[in-house]
Amino acid sequence: MEYILEAKQLRKEYQDKVALKGLDLQISAGEIFCLLGQNGAGKSTTINLFLGFIQPSSGAAYINGYEVASNVTQVKEYLAYIPENVMLYPNLTGMENLALFSSLAGFDYSKEELMHYLVQAGLPADAVSRRVGGYSKGMRQKVGIAIAVAKHAKVLLLDEPTSGLDPKASNEFSELLLNLSQQGTAIFMATHDIFRSKEVGTRIGIMREGELVDVQPAANLNANELENLYLNYMHVAR
Partner 1 sequence: MKKFWILIKFEWLNFRADKGLLILTILTLFAGLYGIYYGTTEINRQQENIAALDVLTEQNIEELKAKYPNGTDAGDIGYYHTTFAVNHPDSWASLSLGQRDVNPYYIKLRLLNLQSQLYDTENINPLKVLSGNFDLAFVLVYLFPLLIIGLCFNILSVEKEQGTLPLLLSQPIGLPLIVGAKLTFRMMLVLGMALLLSVVAMVWGQVSPDMRVAFWLSVVVLYCLFWFGVAFVVAALQKNSAFNAITMLGVWLLLTIIIPALLNVYIAVKQPMPQALELTIKQREVVHGGWDKPKRETMDKFFALYPQWTDTTEIQGRFAWRWYYAFHHLGDVAVADLALDYQEGLQARHQLVEQLNVWSVPVNVQTIFNAMAGSDLPSYVSFLQSATQYHDSLREFYYPFLFNQVNFTNADYVNEPRHSFTSSPDFATVHAGLYKLALSVLLVFAVGMLLFRRIKASVK
135 lines the binding site for partner 1 (CB under 8 A): no
What x-and-dash track marks residues 39-78 binding partner 1 by CB under 8 A? ---------x--x-x-x----------------xxx-xx-
Residue ranges of alpha helices (H) inside 183-237 are 194-200, 223-237
- Tell me the CA distances in angstroms from 137 to 161, 163, 227, one per residue in order: 11, 9, 28
For partner 1, the closer of residues 29 and 92 by Cβ is 92
**Of positions 33, 62, 101, 230, contacts partner 1 by CB under 8 A:** 101
**Do 49 and 68 touch, CB atoms closer than 8 A?**
yes
CB of 138 to partner 1, least distance (A): 16
173 lines the binding site for partner 1 (CB under 8 A): no
Query: Which is nearest to 188 in space by CA: 179, 173, 177?
Result: 177
For partner 1, the closer of residues 73 and 110 by Cβ is 73
CB of 97 to partner 1, least distance (A): 9
For partner 1, the closer of residues 145 and 169 by Cβ is 145
For partner 1, the closer of residues 153 and 226 by Cβ is 153
Residue ranges of alpha helices (H) inside the chain are 43-51, 72-75, 94-104, 111-120, 137-150, 167-182, 194-200, 223-237
For partner 1, the closer of residues 57 and 171 by Cβ is 57
Query: Which is nearest to 131 in space by CA: 164, 95, 86?
Result: 95
3-class SS of residue 202 = coil
Q: Is 102 exposed, middle or buried (0-12, 13-18, 19+ CB in 10 A)?
A: buried
Give the Cα separation of 211 and 188 in Å (integer): 16
CB of 90 to partner 1, least distance (A): 7
What residue ranges bind partner 1 (CB under 8 A)? 48, 51, 53, 55, 72-74, 76-77, 79-81, 83, 85-92, 96, 100-101, 103-106, 131, 144, 147, 157
